Structure 1
Amino acid sequence: MDRKYKLTYFNIRGLAEPIRWMFRLRNVDFEDERINLDQWPEERQRFTKQVGQLPILLIDDKIELTQVHTVMRYVARELGFNGESELEEARADEAVELVYDLRLCAVAHKDCYTTVNPDIVSHTIFRDFRNEKSISKKVLMRKRLLEYTFPLYFSKFAQFLEDSGGEYLAGPNMTYADLAVANFLDVCEDNINPDILNDFPTLKALKEEIFEIPEVAEWVAQTKTASASGA
């Protein structure tokens, strides 16, 4: 039976972009409801019973799933992006949890940027950092990320690639972890430093491979055009 999906998230890539990609890669129609960040203080009242958190996946107009990793893993299982074995599933889960850890590492530097949405800062952290006008405030966070945090975690991702044979993070097949890591790396290049992958050629190759997938490339181009037009 074909299911009906509606994904509600902010009008950013953030944490939910890999979910959108999975739908597109499998040619599965879904409603992509986006909430502008400046409208969130008012809009969040709609989601009181979901404890005011996004994303929300509505299935067949009656079943709701919340929490980003729950939604991501459900879609991965439904669409075949969760690995071919229990170990591959676990490795994919591990990589995605590490991506979230990286976001929390950045959130911890709360004195280095100003956020207008403190309750959802884990989703907007790198955008907040980019938009911070004070160069001096950003120095500490950028230094810590570039000299310690990124190398530590990126080395772990690179080891996953080496252990799996060099193409994908969890095994011989692409999983949702590859999408999540590629999206994260691109966000960091855009908002922190475009050279962060210079010392990690295998991660750079993975990111480029994901972004060259026709469905992903088309989606990225469409959403960038929509953002530029104010949509």
Structure 2
Amino acid sequence: MAGKPKLHYFNARGRMEPIRWLLAVAEVEFEEQFILSMADLEKLREEGPLLFQQVPMVEIDGMKLVQTRAILNYIAEKHNLCGKDIKQRARINMYSEGILDIGEMIADMPFKYPEAEEKEKEIKVILTKATGRYFPVFEKILKEHGEDFLEGNQLCRADVHLLEVILATEELKTDVLSEFPLLTAFKARISNIPAIKKFLQPGSPRKPPPDEKTIEVGVKMLVELRQKAAAGP
């Protein structure tokens, strides 16, 4: 019998957070091995499982998977979160790719723009893109088909990714959905699915927004990674 999936990443949201969400929605318990220093990352690199020398990495079903989207695709396929046929799968993947684009902007922002002035500028960029480009798309999708979910009237990975990004965007601006009534209803509806409701409770594996210490550690590691890359092999 296969053991629990093991997640290798920093003790933060980042690119691992949508993976945590998808596993939680699939009701799959998992373990985490946090990377707390460059030494931890270098150890993983030297041991060889990081195909492209970077994380996240997930040990699952006898495999050591890297690349966020590849990991998400595998989990979605395994747990029937990717649609019933090839056309549904194409639309779900299309929606997911768009959602993940802005999700990664939000996740990267505290570490790429740690200074207050730069951070505020980037938040404005994110909010403009969220309300002007991304959220209108999903408001329209929900309006046009009149169903509870984005595709096929059943929960799929895109629904999960969208809720995660909505909640993360609301941390930047609490009333960001004020012009999107269908997305507001969608958020309430999806948040009340039992597995998701459980994941949103305190004490779950869901990571909080990065605090000052997390940002400090993350920025330091980014600087070290850039210096190492510039120095060459």
The code of the aligned residue for 1:44 comes to: L
Determine helix, strand or coil for the equivalent of 1:33: strand
Q: Give the letter aligned to residue 58 of structure 2.
A: L
Amino acid at match of 2:108: I
Amino acid at match of 2:124: K
Q: CA deviation at 1:174?
A: 0.7
The 2-side partners of 1:73 and 1:32 are apart by 20
Indicate the residue corresponding to 1:125 in structure 2.
Answer: 108
Number of equivalences: 205
Partner of 1:15: 15
In structure 1, the partner of 2:191 is 211
Would the aligned equivalents of 2:9 and 2:34 in 1 still touch at CA under 8 Å? yes
User: CA offset at residue 149 of structure 1?
Assistant: 4.8
Q: Which secondary structure does the structure 2 equivalent of 1:84 belong to?
A: coil
Distance in 2 (CA, whole Å) between partners of 1:18 and 1:92 is 15
Deviation at 1:175, TM superposition (A): 0.5
In the alignment, is the contact (CA less than 8 A) between 1:126 and 1:187 conserved in 2? no
Aligned partner of 1:79 in structure 2 is 79
Contact 1:22–1:79 at 8 Å: present in 2 too?
Answer: no
**Structure 1 CA distance for aligned equivalents of residues 207 and 161 of structure 2:** 22
> Deviation of residue 54 (structure 1)?
2.1
Counterpart of 1:165? 146
Q: How large is the Cα RMSD of the aligned pairs?
A: 3.0
**Alignment of structure 1 residues 1-231 onto 2, 5 Å:** 4-35=4-35, 39-48=36-45, 49=48, 50=50, 51-60=52-61, 62-103=62-103, 106=105, 124-128=107-111, 132=114, 134=116, 136-190=117-171, 192-220=172-200, 221-223=202-204
Unaligned runs of 5+ in 2: 214-233
Question: In the aligned structure 2, how far is the partner of 1:12 from the partner of 1:6?
Answer: 15
Query: Which amino acid is 1:158 matched to?
Result: E
**Runs of at least 5 residues in structure 1 that lack an aligned partner in the other structure:** 107-121
1:23 is displaced (CA, Å) by 2.9
CA distance in 2, matches of 1:93, 1:181: 12
Equivalent position amino acid for 2:150 in 1: L
Determine the C-alpha separation between the residues in 1 that align with 2:72 and 2:186. Answer: 20
Residues 7 and 31 in structure 1, CA contact (< 8 A), matched pair in contact too: yes
Query: Which amino acid counterpart does residue 43 of structure 1 have in structure 2?
Result: D
TM-score, length basis structure 2? 0.73
Q: Letter of the 1:99 partner, please give it.
A: I
- d(CA) in 2 for partners of 1:125, 1:227: 14
Secondary structure of the corresponding residue to residue 19 of structure 1: helix
Task: Find the residue that maps to 1:43 and give its secondary structure.
Answer: helix
Deviations 1:4-55 (A, max 9, x none): 52222332233333433333333333323333xxx24332213324123222
Distance 2:197 2:70 in 1: 25
Q: What percent identity do the matched residue pairs reach? A: 26
Whether contact under 8 Å (2:103, 2:165) holds in the other structure is no
Aligned counterparts of 2:3 and 2:89: Cα–Cα separation in 1? 23
Deviations 1:164-208 (A, max 9, x none): 433111221110111111111111211x21111111122222222
Distance 1:226 1:152 in 2: 26
SS at match of 2:204: helix
Contact 1:6 1:59 in 2 (8 A): yes
State the distance in 1 between where 2:161 and 2:13 align. 11
Which residue identity lines up with residue 195 of structure 1 in the other structure? D
1:137–1:45 Cα change, 3 Å: same
